Structure formats: structure tokens, C-alpha cells
Amino acid sequence: MKLIGLEAPDRTVYVADQVSATEARVIGELREFWSAADAHLAAESEAEREGADRAGADRSEPTGVVAIADYRVVPPVLPEARVICIGLNYRAHHAEGSFKEQAFPEHPTLFARWTRSLTVDGAEIPVPANERGLDWEGEIVAYVGATLADADEDEAQAAIVGYSTFNDVTSRIAQKLTSQWILGKNGDNSGPLGPIVPASEVGSLADGLRVRTRVNGETVQDGNTSDIVYSPASTLSLISRTFTLRPGDLLATGTPEGVGYTRQPEWLLQPGDTVEVEVDKLGTLKNHIAARSN
């Protein structure tokens, strides 16, 4: 199952299971889906087994299989969702950067994205005018499907409903202006997401998923989630002790070694480049880099 967002001409967004390159089966309206994600995924799995079309609860909604071309593909993410990101979560990535002389802290380094920075497979990512280029960070995002407050790790793990491929494309000059990373992590269209794959089809990241990034066909990152220090479950548990996590919130789990700014010479994405992130069981995310247009 691969869940995408489809925006209709009236701006209503639906969550749909992409069944082919050109068609998707509508599951429900975005907010209604996230109100009971587990139940919707179970119903969709049953529909897939039976080869049946699912009808929307509201007959004014599109039903069954629709043509993707009739909609705009968007992230299946609520506008108010929190996008929380873990920095320096792979041992090998920590060792290659400017923090390599420091020990891993007891708790993960967290920063935030806004949902406006998110985009989808195939979208163009513009290079801000004050940057030498953009850096790639192939990652996995975990999606929260239940409310978490003061949750333990088992509760947090059970609340993860799915994962997707992600590229945490970074404006390095902006990122390094201050000790806070948010500016460099929120460039326009700088957070492409792949389709959501249910957690039941993925398993545990601790079992090891290969994460690869390619630039113009050349592999620049080739890591494995077995190298992760802070698990999604432990991180969500930690966060939930400070603020309540809601269905639809996202956690970006960090990137492996091989980013561009640490290379000699530095290698950054330029207009005309193509960047791909491929993750086992989650698929490939492909985006093009463009000059910024006002």
C-alpha cells in the first residue's frame, strides 16, 4: 500500500492508495483519514484483498479508483501537523561532520520543519539566492497515528502507523548562521516526501533498512537504519513528555553519512541536478533542483 494526497480542484485533499502509476483508490478526506488512520488502513487492506472499490462515507466524495491526473498530488499531511526532525542520528554521519569530536548526547538533537516546506516526488526544489547550492539528506519519516502523552516506548511504537522516504534538503549557509537550524531546514519545497507505507508492511527500523541517495545517478549515501542511535519510539516517547503528539504528526529520523558539505571539495546540488532517495520497502523519491524564481 502506498498512500498519497490528492487535492481536488475545490482544494479538498483526499488520502488515496496509489495502485498504479496513473491511478489511485480513494480512502477518504484528509482530516477524516487521520481521525482514525488505523481503521482506514485496515479497511483499505481488506479492499485490496477483495479487489473491491471503497466508497466514501460522503457520496459527494470521489469513490473507488480515480485518475491521478485529475488531481494535484500533495503530501497527505494535515496543515497543523508538527514535523519534528532528529539531527545527527546515524553514528557514521556524526563521525563525518563538525560534531565528530563530541560524544553523542543523552537525548536527541531535535529541530522543526513547517508543513509548508513539504512537497512530493517529482517536485522541483529551488536553490535560495544566498546559497552556494543545496545539500541532500536521505531519510525516513515516521507518522504518528494516535495521541501520545507521557507515553512509554511500547506505546509510542504502537502509535506509528507508517513510514515514508524523505529528503531533508538543507540550505547550509542559512543553517549555520546560528546555533538553531530551523532557517536552513525550511526552504521552499525542501522537504519532499514519498508515499506512506503502513508500518505493518515495513517492520522495525532496528531490523535494518538500506537508505541510499543518488545525485545524477551517482550514489552519495548508502547507509542502514541499524546505525541509528535514537529510535523513533524512544524519541516520540521523549517528546510526548513535553507536548502531546497528535495523529498526523511526523518524525524525520535522521540521515546516514555522505552529505555534501563535508566533502573535499564541497559538493552541493545545483539547478539542473536530479536527486533520488531510495529506501528498502518504501520506494524511491526523485526530485529536480531548479533556480529560484520570484
pLDDT (tens digit per residue) in 174-212: 999 999 999 999 999 999 999 999 999 999 998 999 999
- Tell me: do 23 and 103 sit in the same domain: no
- Tell me: do 133 and 231 sit in the same domain: yes
Last residue of a domain, which of 52, 74, 96? 74
Beta carbons of 231 and 205 less than 8 angstroms apart: yes
- Tell me: do 273 and 199 sit in the same domain: yes
pLDDT at 80 over 70: yes
Mean pLDDT value of segment 83-107 = 77
> Residue 262 and residue 158: Cα distance in Å, rounded?
36
CA nearest neighbour of 275 among 265, 285, 260, 290: 285
Name the domain count of the chain.
2
Selected residue with higher pLDDT from 34 and 100: 34
Average pLDDT, the chain: 92
- Tell me: do 197 and 260 sit in the same domain: yes
Last residue of a domain, which of 39, 74, 109? 74
ω into residue 192 within 30 of 0, thus cis?
A: no
Mean pLDDT value of segment 80-97 = 83
- Tell me: do 91 and 70 sit in the same domain: no
Mean pLDDT value of segment 36-55 = 78
- Tell me: do 236 and 192 sit in the same domain: yes
- Tell me: do 41 and 149 sit in the same domain: no
- Tell me: do 123 and 141 sit in the same domain: yes
pLDDT at 58: 44
Per the structure, the complete domain to which residue 154 belongs is given by 83-291
For position 256, which CATH number holds? 3.90.850.10
Last residue of a domain, which of 55, 74, 93? 74
- Tell me: do 254 and 155 sit in the same domain: yes
